[in-house]
Chain A
Amino acid sequence: QVQLQESGPGLVKPSQTLSLTCTVSGGSFSSGGYYWSWIRQHPGKGLEWIGNIDDSGSTWYNPSLKSRVTISVDTSKKQFSLKVRSVTAADTAVYYCARGTNMIDWGQGTLVTVSS
């Protein structure tokens, strides 16, 4: 069973960069064919796909966030990361990492609040 765990600051100031890391354990990370995803959920709202990355580093992003988002991968550490630049209060959400475009396995999620 693959397990994923998000980590990073729970509070970010407006205009700064939100940075999160997802650490994968309990399974293969780069055996080929895997995609690693980021999803967020605004308080009391639905799920929003942010983007994903494959183990070669190719990325795909939600068009609405593409200009501010970067996803990267470090296969040696079995981690992938999310950066969201120039954040505002509208980026306050629970951020989830997941395995696959099907989102076969999910992390527990981490709340990030954007506030001064």
Chain B
Amino acid sequence: NAGVTQTPKFRILKIGQSMTLQCTQDMNHNYMYWYRQDPGMGLKLIYYSVGAGITDKGEVPNGYNVSRSTTEDFPLRLELAAPSQTSVYFCASSSPYEQYFGPGTRLTVT
């Protein structure tokens, strides 16, 4: 039972480069989320989706984009990487009662 999977696990980007963080869930959940985690700051919601074709901004959406073409996949796009985007990124999906988290992607922008 895979749950929520994320790729890659680690990535180093140069300033101005772009990349897509992949997220897939196999639990048929409607709700999916992208968070970033910075030391001492907890998790901040970047974007979320309540179903295929429906996305909305969270608390810290600037510099990111998302799409949701299928129930299973919810990729996060960074268009012009900046050092402020150095963080650990978590994808999650939820039933009504619990969010299930992926293992995270550690991104460094230099």
Our verdict on whether A and B bind, yes or no, reads: no
Task: Spell out B's residues near A (CB within 8 Å).
Answer: none
Task: Spell out A's residues near B (CB within 8 Å).
Answer: none
